Every structure is written in C-alpha cells, then in structure tokens.
Structure 1
Amino acid sequence: MLTEPAPDQPVLADPTTAALVALNDRPWSRLRPFVTAGVLVALAVAVDQWWGSDPLVLLFVLGAGLNVIAGSHLLRLHRLNRAAAGMLATTPWIPVEAQILRGASGITDLRVQREDGVLALRVFLLTAPHRVVLRRTGKVWIAGPNFDGVAAVRVEGSHMAWPARLLPDLPEQRPTSRGDQVEPTAAMAAALRKRVNAHLVSVPVVLVVAYLIATSQGVFEPLVFASSAIAGLVVAGAAVYRTRHRLPDRALPGLVAAGGWVAASATVDPWTPRPDGSVEARVTLRLPDGPAAVVLLRSASIDLLGTIGETGGVWVTGSVVPGGVVAVGFPEYPLVAAGSVLSL
C-alpha cells in the first residue's frame, strides 16, 4: 500500500488533503465558464451586426450555451464540496470494501460494503486512472454519508477527498470501459500532455476562426482578418503564457513508456501551490548507486508532493544528469511529474 490515512483523525487533519479540498473552493474556477459565455455572446452580437455571418453567430452561441451548462454543473459540485468540507473537519476516514458498478467521465458509481450494510455512492470527478487503482485494490476510505446524503471518498494513491452522494438504490453494473484499463501512470502522463496541447492548439484555431470571419461576406477582408487574428492571438497567447510551467509535461508519455524506474529516497523543499493547483518544487533525490540529485519539478501536483513527503521516497526514470529530463512519480499510480535535473 502506498499511503493510507491516519485512523481516528478528522479527514482535514491531513495537510495534503486539506490543501486539495481548499483548492476546490476557488471562486474563479466556477465563474470562468460564465465569463467565457458572456464573451462568446458579445462576439456573436458583434459578428451579427458587422458581418451578418449566421454560421459564426451560431458557433459562438453554441459555445456560450455549452459554457453555461458546464458552469451550472460546477456550481452544483461547488455546493456539494462545501457540504462535504464542513463534514470533513470532524469526520475520520473509514476503510471499506468497494466495487465500481459503472464509471464515466466525471461520475463513478460504487457499491460500498460497510459493517452495517451495503451503500451505493455516486462519486464525482474521480478520474479513469484512479478508477483503475480502485479496481485493483477493491477498497476505499469513506467519510459520511451525513443526514443529507453527502459523503467523501479517498482512493489509494491519492489524498483527495472526492465528493460523493448517497444513491437510493444500487445501479446495474456496466462493463469496464477501455479508458479504465490503461496503466494509471501512463494514463495520467497522457492526460497531462493532452492538457498542454489543448492550450497550444488554440493558436491555429484562432487563425481559422479569424479567416472564417474575414471571408463571411464572400470575399477575403485583410483588415478584418488582421484585427480578428490579433485579438484572438492575444487571448490564446495569454492562456499559453499563463500555463507555460506545464510545457515540460509534453515529455511525460515518452519517459513513462521508456520505463526503467529506479527507487530513490527524496526530500522536498518548502512549496506553495499556484492558483491552478500546480506546484513548482525542488526535490532532492538520493539514488542507491550515485550522488544526490536536485530535480526541479515545474508543475507537480499537491498529491504527488504530499505522497513524497509522507513516504520519504519516490521513483525516477529518465536521464539523471545535469540538464537531463526525468519523470518523477510512483509507478502503477496516477502520480507523476516531469522534472529537470539541476545538479548532482
């Protein structure tokens, strides 16, 4: 077992769990979809008045609608997180056997066997890599449910208190999806690279949209293209710049696929999370057959750093030489980050 919560202590007594729960209470994360929807509506009105391009107006309105739907879902999850956080300040974790009945993007239904009977819980935001770990271990820790049916779930390999609700009945079991069969470390590495690429691809998308706007009247208008492209590139460029610390994550799938993990003892310098939950941290690795190596992780997760601090060790793969790029994490768990070796 990688880590387990301390018995008979409130969930939020664990500093890593407390940091992760606090991260879910960020106001901007739940308001951002509504702000984006407002911008898209303004663009739709502008395009309709200036160029009269019905396809583009429809595209912007559709995007605004999707953002409103996503924002409404985030608001509901925020209320659930708030309710769970209030309970977690005084409630300890209880280890139980668990079985996944069905898992999809953002929603996982569990059959939980407690001493007093069987419960059905719907867990929100649990990722596919974490479901793979859950299927392998067959156990979770739960807090609650309280009188309102609010609960929280912790999976081995994570300190996160995933919000959950009590279901009135056990859902039917569904076959395991293909995404839930990928090795967790490789799956997390791919997900981190995909998140980076999603920002990078926004740049060519902006140019395509600018071209569509510039040709909406049947002829290409250079001034319209230039103004639209510049405005879009400023926004897209700002997003890429704001998340530039995540760029090393693009190397993670290759490093993980290469294998060759080596165990090392590790200590982490004091760190502070960014608003997006990522952390820049220095980790000192002591390999069994070499000197200590100082590795800079530009975009580590709170969960990974908390696990390193709790276990006093980590695994590393890649080129452990000054200037080398490595992956640091725990094989078979969704805990991994890209790092650069600063010194030996």
Structure 2
Amino acid sequence: MSKREAPALEPPTDIPAMEDPHTAAAFRSVRTPLLGLPAAAMALGIPAVTLGLAGAGWVLVALLGIAALAFLLAAVLTFVMIGSWVGPAAKLLRTQSWREATVKVYRPGKGLPKSKLAVKDGDKTINLVANALPWAAQQVLARTGRIWLVGPDDRGNAAIRSTGLALPLGQAKMTTEKVAAGYEINVVQDDPVRVPIAASDAVLAHTTATPRKRSRTDVVLPALLMVFALVMVFDLFSRDLRADQAPLVIGVLVGTAAIAGLLAWRIAKLRHWSTVDKLLAVGPWKSVPVSVHGEALKCAGRAVTLRKGAKELRANAVATGQLWIAGQPRGTVAVGLPGYPFLSVAEFED
C-alpha cells in the first residue's frame, strides 16, 4: 500500500464474487431498473389508455401518457446499455472469484462515453471498454492502478470493481482495439492523503461541486414563490370574505404551507452544505482507529455516529479499522476517504 493512498476496502478473492455482500447489493441495483422501469411504464400507460377510451379529461390522460413514455424510453435505453450484459455477468459473478490485476485508464473515443482500460492480468493484457464509467471511479482506478475483475467469458463480457467501493460493480466488454495507443487520463491528484485541508481533496471537491452549487440556486425559486404566496394571503385576508369563498381560502393556505415546506427543505440543504464546507476547512485528513461493536463504531471507547448516506464510509471503516476525518476526533466532524467521492458527517461522543 502506497503511503499516498488511504487503506480501503478490497473485494474478497477466495469466494465466488456474488457471495460478497457489496457485490450482490451492487448487482441488484444494476438489475432493478431492467424490471422496475417497464413495470412503471405499464403502471402509468394502462390507466392512460383506459381513461382515454373512457373519455376522461385529456389533461390527465396526457400527463399519464407522457410519464409512461418517459419510463418506457428509460427502460429501452437501460436495456440497450446493460441488457445483454446482466445475464452473462450474473453467471460470471456466481462462478468466479474476484481476481486482482493492474490497470491503465484511457480517454473515451467519440460517441458513447466508453472508458478504455488496459488490464494487465498476470502475463496477459486484456483490453476492455466500460460503459459510462463515473469520473470518480476513473480517477481511483488510474491513481491506484489496481482493478478486480471476473471474466471475460467467451463473448467478451466482464465485470470490474475498484478499491473502496468507488466502483462497486462495473460493466465491461473485451475489445480488439489497442486501447494503449490512446491517451491516458490525467490523475488530478496523486496524493490525496497529504492535502493541506480536506476541502482540497480534488476528487471529493469535483463530486460535490454540483450538489453544493444547487443547494444555493435551488433556494431562489421557492423563496420567490413564498413571497408571492404571502402577498396573496395578505391580500385575501384584507378583503371581506364570504362563506362561499372558504374553498379558495383553504386552497391558498394549503398551497402556501406546501411552498413553506419546500423552502424549509431547501434552506436545510443549504445549511447542510454550509456546515460541511466549514468542517472540511478545519484541517487535513486524519485517520483515527475505530472498532466495531454490533452496529456501533467506537473510537477510543467513545461512540461514533455516522449520519445517513455513509454506508460506503462505514464499510471502509469496518474493513480497515480506520475512519478518516477532517481535524480532530471530537464533536461534529466531516468524514470521508481521501481521494474517493464519499462525504458525510459524524458525531463523536463526549
């Protein structure tokens, strides 16, 4: 393990890949859209057709039809992307163990975003293309130079995985193209463990840039709607209301309450990211030893509570016995894994 890399969860290599719970969960999440999207399209499309034949209002029929068509298109696109891979991958994952190899990652060519991988598996090189490989996963593979795979089978299908659950399961297919003739992707940060403050972690900053920006912009529309709703409420109650206007009053109040709830939710997200930004600026990444006690994590006898959305960080902490935090292990801290796209907040018991 390089001193520049934080220890991270690695897949087991002594059991069939599907017996690993992280692999099994990732495979279920890949397979679910193949079943769920067509089911959703039917659930919306059948009522749309039924209501249309019954002469129901065209607005309702149109809304149901458009929603059904959206799900149908998503189902077709999903099937085109992974439909022919899921079956062979399931067989490979049930019959083969993950095996480690070295990898170099090359830039995608024109057309669909297919990353190119030159995998050194023992004494042979396997050229693979991977569909829609996330940017963060590309960075982890390129930076560590490590990959795990099962396959390829006789049709070239393979499954891949990285360290630390940055890529818990990826689709890949063997190609005859000499991928090494292309351009290797640039590793944006060679030593994420040594950044001066956790906020300087390039992979984490890139991954969180969009939700951080949206937390600010998403407040604008609900705030404007809230101002408009309050004006309406004030104007309504400044008039002499009649008994037959009760439904109008109830509708305005319910709508105002809904807008207030949306605004409160968006403000909570904005405050969350403001807090996280401050926690990440406290100091560099620091690893602290943790132990597992049932469902609880403990550090030096103190309970550590990870907030929701931290399952990958918990899995890595359980596997390595280390939890990476920004600053010192007390109070509320930012939690991550240097060079990986995971971020949460933890509470250290006093």
Shorter-chain TM-score: what band? 0.5 to 0.7
Of Structure 1 and Structure 2, the greater helix share is in 2
Q: Establish whether residue 141 from structure 1 lines up as the match of residue 140 from structure 2.
A: no
* TM-score between the two structures when normalised by the length of structure 2: 0.63
Contact 2:41 2:69 in 1 (8 A): no
**Aligned partners of 1:124, 1:173: CA distance in 2, in Å?**
17
Deviations 1:233-257 (A, max 9, x none): 69x95xx69xx99985664444334
Q: Give, as a single letter, the amino acid of the residue that structure 2 aligns with 1:16.
A: H
Distance 1:252 1:144 in 2: 41
**Match 1:120 to one of 116, 124, 127:** 127
Determine if contact 1:13/1:89 at 8 Å carries over to the other structure: yes
Residues 1:127 and 1:115: Cα distance change in structure 2 (over 3 Å): same
Asked whether the equivalents of residues 44 and 65 of structure 2 are also in contact (C-alpha less than 8 Å), the reply is no
Q: Distance in 1 between matches of 2:274 and 2:32?
A: 26
Structure 2: which amino acid aligns with 1:19? A
- AA in 2 matched with 1:9: I
> Residues 130 and 91 of structure 1: is their aligned pair in 2 closer, same or farther, counting only changes over 3 Å?
same
Indicate yes or no: 2:290 matched with 1:283.
Answer: no
Question: In the alignment, is the contact (CA less than 8 A) between 2:107 and 2:115 conserved in 1?
Answer: yes
Displacement of 1:180 in angstroms is: 9.1
Percentage identity across aligned positions?
25
Q: Distance in 1 between matches of 2:271 and 2:78?
A: 26
How far the C-alpha of 1:187 sits from its partner, in A, is 3.2
Q: Work out whether 1:16 is the aligned partner of 2:25.
A: no
Output one character per residue of 1:144-198: Cα deviation in whole Å (capped at 9) or x when no partner: 1112322111112227121222224235624747989972233344466468x49
CA–CA separation in structure 2 for the residues paired with 1:60 and 1:198: 32
Alpha-carbon distance between aligned partners in 1 of 2:216 and 2:171, rounded to the nearest angstrom: 27
2:10 aligned partner: 4
Separation of aligned partners in 2, 1:64 and 1:198: 32
CA distance in 1 between counterparts of 2:130 and 2:38 reads 23
Shift of 1:260: 2.8
Deviations 1:105-133 (A, max 9, x none): 96422122234533221223532122112
The answer on whether the counterparts of 1:157 and 1:334 sit within 8 Å (CA) in structure 2 is no
Determine which of 148, 166, 172 is the counterpart of 2:174: 166
Write the letter of the residue equivalent to 1:127: P
The one-letter code matched in structure 1 to 2:202 is: E
In 1, Cα distance between equivalents of 2:222 and 2:68: 20
Relative to the length of structure 1, the TM-score reads 0.64
Q: For 1:109, what is the secondary structure of its paired residue?
A: strand
Alignment of 1:286-305 (within 5 A): 286=300, 292-305=301-314
Residue 201 of structure 1 deviates from its aligned partner by 5.9
Asked if the contact 1:30–1:74 (Cα under 8 Å) also holds between the matched residues in 2, the reply is no
Is contact 2:216–2:270 with CA below 8 Å preserved after alignment? no
Q: Secondary structure at the match of 1:87?
A: helix
1:88 is the counterpart of 2:93: yes
Q: Does structure 1 retain, via aligned residues, the 8 Å contact 2:14–2:97?
A: yes
Q: Secondary structure at the match of 1:6?
A: coil
In the alignment, is residue 263 of structure 1 matched against residue 287 of structure 2? yes
1:97 to 95, 98, 102: 102
Structure 1: 5+ residue runs without aligned partners?
Answer: 51-56, 212-222, 272-281, 287-291
- CA distance 1:297–1:25, shift in 2 (3 Å): farther
**How many pairs align?**
295
Return the structure number with greater strand share.
1
Q: Hey, what's the Cα distance between the residues in 1 that align with 2:314 and 2:338? A: 15
Q: CA deviation at 1:298?
A: 2.4
> Counterparts of 1:33 and 1:258 in 2: how far apart (Å)?
47
In structure 1, distance between residues paired with 2:176 and 2:224: 46
Larger radius of gyration: 2
Taking a change above 3 Å as real, the CA distance of residues 151 and 116 of structure 1, as seen in their structure-2 partners, is same
Deviation at 1:91, TM superposition (A): 0.8
Alignment of 1:199-238 (within 5 A): 204=222, 230=255
Q: Secondary structure at the match of 1:332?
A: coil
